[in-house]
Structure 1
Amino acid sequence: MSCLICGPKLATCGVVISIWGVIMLAMLGVFFRTHSAVLIEDVPLTEEDFRDTNPPQKIYGIYNQVAYNCFIAAAIYVVVGVFSFCQISLNKRKEYLVQ
């Protein structure tokens, strides 16, 4: 029993978008993990974070949390890519059996 959900074009689009998402989010995760100063505007900081007794460690902790979130999103893109690849193979098998 095959679980064919989407067509070949949608499955191919899913694979392409997943590859791009994994590359982009993995790179963002690495840059957040290295505490890149360019990404400071993307870190959800509050005034209390600067009033802490040790502000750099608090800010680095928030950077690490954002990096962790990027890696989780990249893993979700991997799952979507694997699903899309399976859909491509199911579509090819269906096409082969029809001929």
Structure 2
Amino acid sequence: MASLLFCGPKLAACGIVLSIWGVIMLVMLGIFFNVHSAVLIEDVPYTEADILNDSNPPQTVYGLYDQVSYNCFIAAGIYVLLGGLSLCQVRLNKRKEYMVH
């Protein structure tokens, strides 16, 4: 029977810790981008041409804030999936410890 175990217990535990940290950080960043925090303006991908050629510049910048916010939430979701995968690996490693070879 094929085993789904592909990483050791220490790597799986490290994956869980990094996933938890990534989810917390990215969800908080997503919230701050969603409320259009002025501190994060340097991380919004706009150019001067976007601002000068637009008749309603604040709405354009707010749209970019929202896009970055969605990207943060998507990345947090990916971290949740990887955390779940790491959790499965931890459980498979625990089960392997009790099996007789």
CA distance in 2, matches of 1:53, 1:47: 13
Structure 1 stretches of 4+ moved >4 Å: none
Q: Secondary structure at the match of 1:98?
A: coil
One-letter code aligned to 2:3: S
CA distance in 1, matches of 2:64, 2:79: 23
RMSD: 1.1
Query: How do 1:39-78 residues align onto structure 2 when only pairs under 5 Å count?
Result: 39-51=40-52, 52-78=54-80
In structure 2, the residue matched to 1:38 is 39
Q: Secondary structure at the match of 2:99?
A: helix
Q: TM-score, normalised by structure 2?
A: 0.94
Q: TM-score, normalised by structure 1?
A: 0.96
One-letter code aligned to 1:23: I
1:91 aligns with 2:89: no
Task: Give identity over the alignment, percent.
Answer: 70
CA distance in 2, matches of 1:4, 1:91: 7
- Cα deviation digits, residues 52-94 of structure 1 (max 9, x gap): 0100000000000000000010001001000000000000000
TM-superposed CA distance for 1:12, in Å, is 0.1
- Cα deviation digits, residues 39-63 of structure 1 (max 9, x gap): 0011111112212010000000000
| Structure 1: gaps of 5 or more residues | none
